[in-house]
Structure 1
């Protein structure tokens, strides 16, 4: 069976000339047809990837009391630790534990008239017993951000846009976030939903996997495994790129299946997005591409907004109902729009 999820080498983009043109064509095809690809040649040393996975394992090995001391429900900014089954996808528990980390910024003082999404900005929560974790995850964010920006420039060029077409939406204060994640073996979970079927909401997700399988992408009405390949990142398209390209690029549904009994799986997803105050533009595609644009696929029960802050807040409220009830009771029973 041919490989469904292709492998792309980002070094070809930097070579210019025919190599760059072929890379852009391959990138556009991968993003449109599958929405996922493996990225080689990204420039992040293998040692740094191993270091961030080791930092993740060290965090999840902490006593439960240390992890619960920074539980997400204590943060109005949706930062911190979530225990097994604590996050929900489409109303069903995800059997993973995780630490959510965003851009480290001070909270915005609230006053009447401010958009509700301004409440999302704020600091992270860090475990006192593991002081090196902050440095390790911050360093990974810097590395992953640089790769994501290179890819966004490549995507713009692949659609016959100026390479900096999306830069106004993320420059200055991009709203990226990341997780470190532990998937417990099937013996310790309620069912096999590591993460339920969903799309990602930002521009791009860059995923670092350990050696264990579990990620699956929906392709041609079937689930296709995206097994780990050493020295690569798995990249998938988020809904903001789907919006910008009027559906020419595809934000693909994916899920994670719980590992078998006795196996733990660790991963580090990095979500690169636009500023919370940004509005996503609509590309003026050339006629041949515009004719193939399918329009963004928006669920009536989960509509997409071109205003980034509302999209992010909507997603967070749905995924973490405990945080919503504690910190956003004014929004729980009505639309944030």
Structure 2
């Protein structure tokens, strides 16, 4: 079936694009998503086909042109034909659901409070984002890394050993997650190499810049999310909470797999929140702040959130975050204009900055590891912090103005 979708906004002329959709994708939501050209006032999210990236030179060029356009205007996209097998996706979904279905007394055995590297199960409502409790439970997994050495700084504890269910609790947990991590890492690298190609750079340019960790530890992160349905009539105190508060991903590339319940939203430059409705056979990909920084704001790390789930069904998602090595500098110098292709060089970043905290955040720590350990982990998981690091004041440790810390963090 050939679907045609139109998009218009106050700043751009009407844009029309077409995309062949398989029968199981056809429907009102999916038709609106089949838009290839966008403004920053986007109302729907585009679908890109990775089969084109792996196809003929002409097909690859077509993909890269679309990909560049999306990164400069939206920062979010659906990807199909990911190469991750249906069997593996079914098995990881089964592991996710069985993990959260464990009785509480089993989940506390791998609770985040037991981990000095802030990994493991975090109970519903215990995660704090910008001073509010997120209405989700999660399992932070990451990679099974070695412990910090005594000679290494404390913030090297941003990485460490797994704190996950045993195979007795969730059969095949470790083997399935290990297999899925390998598949997602390969997919993330394929997308990162495509980003480099849109900038006229060698495919592995960003690998050399960000991913070769001299400590031998993999910094990329993986987690399970469970958003139980909340009855706001019985629990009116939760009605103003979100499943996950608005934020940008502080990484390179994120790839999200989700069930069909929905709840993810992204924010356009008009400030409107746009639903990222689940589409069978796709994953959701978005750019992180490191790609926004290195392109001088031309490629966009878009703000997103998860609505409070009141659907009557549990929602599950399992995102993979391609992270730079922890010794990477927080402040990333933009690529010189002369290194950028004309299509990117001549694209001026929008002067309306929706992310006033971004520049502040990039300068409060020297490395990504410091920022993740002191700000993201200690702030988000205060109970675990008090158990493992009761004497550490992260605001003082990073010499942050307490007033600014309260405002921006």
TM-score band, normalised by shorter chain: over 0.9
CA–CA separation in structure 1 for the residues paired with 2:333 and 2:47: 29
Q: Contact 1:160/1:286 (CA < 8 Å) preserved in 2?
A: yes
Q: Which has the larger radius of gyration?
A: 2
Equivalent position of 1:21 in the other structure = 61
Alignment partner, residue 332 of structure 1: 394
How much does 1:321 deviate? 2.0
1:321 maps to what in 2? 382
Deviation at 1:311, TM superposition (A): 3.1
User: Which is further off, 311-320 or 240-249?
Assistant: 311-320
The aligned counterpart of 1:292 is 347
- Could you state the TM-score of these two structures normalised by the residue count of structure 1? 0.92
Q: 8 Å contact 1:153–1:164 — kept in the other structure?
A: yes
Distance 1:198 1:5 in 2: 18
| 1:27-83 per-position Cα deviation (integer Å, ceiling 9, x unaligned) | 111122111000112101122112111111101111101101111021111110000
Separation in 1, partners of 2:356, 2:271: 18
Q: Unpaired runs of 5+ in structure 1? A: none
Contact 1:215 1:256 in 2 (8 A): yes
Pairing of 1:206-217 with structure 2 (within 5 A): 206-217=255-266
Residue 177 of structure 1 corresponds to 221
* Residues 95, 170 of structure 2: 8 Å contact kept: no
2:370 alignment partner, SS class: helix
Q: Please point out which of 316, 328, 348 is paired with 1:278.
A: 328
Rounded Cα–Cα distance in structure 2 between residues aligned with 1:166 and 1:14? 20
Residue of structure 1 in register with 2:159 after alignment = 121
Give yes or no for contact 1:201–1:311 (8 Å, CA) kept in 2: no
Question: Structure 1 residues 162-171 or 59-68, which shifts more?
Answer: 162-171
1:70 paired residue number: 110
Q: Which has the higher contact order (CA 8 A, sep 6+)?
A: 1
Number of residue pairs aligned between Structure 1 and Structure 2: 335
**C-alpha RMSD over aligned residues:** 2.2
Aligned to 2:305: 255
**Stretch of structure 1 that moved more, 185-194 or 20-29:** 185-194
Please state how far the C-alpha of 1:163 moved relative to its aligned partner. 1.3
For residues 302 and 76 of structure 1, do their structure 2 counterparts lie closer, same or farther at Cα, with a shift above 3 Å needed? farther
Any residues of structure 2 matched to 1:1-337 within 5 Å, and which?
A: 2-3=32-33, 4-111=44-151, 114-128=152-166, 129-168=169-208, 169-171=210-212, 173-187=217-231, 190-191=238-239, 192-219=241-268, 220-279=270-329, 280=332, 282-284=334-336, 285-286=339-340, 288=342, 289-294=344-349, 299=357, 303-305=361-363, 307-313=367-373, 314-328=375-389, 329-336=391-398
Name the CA distance, whole Å, in 1 between partners of 2:195 and 2:46: 16
Instruction: Answer with 129-138 or 100-109: which moved more.
Output: 129-138
Q: 1:176-212 CA distances to partner (integer Å, 9 max, x unpaired)? A: 1111111010227623511011111110110001011
Deviation at 1:291, TM superposition (A): 4.3
Kept in 2, the 8 Å contact 1:203–1:237? The answer is yes
Matched position secondary structure for 2:310:
coil
The CA deviation at 1:10 is 1.2
